[in-house]
Amino acid sequence: MAKAATAVAPKKKKKSSAKPAALKAASNGKKKKDGKKKGGKAKDGFDTLLRLADHPLVADLLAVGAMAAVAAIAEQGFSGKSKGKTSGSSKAVKDAGKAAAAAIGKRLITEFEEVKKGSTTAKS
């Protein structure tokens, strides 16, 4: 015995947007008009981060922070021997982080002050 076929309602098609089909096909993961590759927010964020890392001010800030951290560790007299329950290395690392943050903050403040001075003299 054969089952009776049930009537299936036709599926509704989505209405196409106002953009022509040619533009849709061109924008499917290829290149935009201005030559940049189309990507998600994560890809754009990564590209922005790479451009930021190439900036000379960022390199300067990293160098200042690293030098301050190394100086703080050297000043601590890092010997590697534990004194009591906790070793001096954790204190040295904390002090190095504080010194790096302070040096980076000081460098940023001087950089902003230089920009302020430059903008006030340009207005005059």
Q: Is 107 exposed, middle or buried (0-12, 13-18, 19+ CB in 10 A)?
A: middle
Contacts of 43 (CB under 8 A, 6+ apart): 37
Q: Identify the residue whose tokens are 């790479």.
A: 50
Q: What is the pLDDT of residues 35-94, one digit of tens each?
A: 555 556 778 888 888 888 888 999 999 999 999 999 998 888 755 555 555 567 888 889
Q: With a threshold of 0.85, does the pTM exceed it? A: no
Q: Rounded to whole angstroms, how far apart are CA atoms 94 and 63? A: 18
Residues 114 and 57 sit within 8 Å (Cβ to Cβ) = no
**What is the pLDDT of the chain when averaged over all its residues?**
75
Q: What is the pLDDT of residue 79?
A: 57
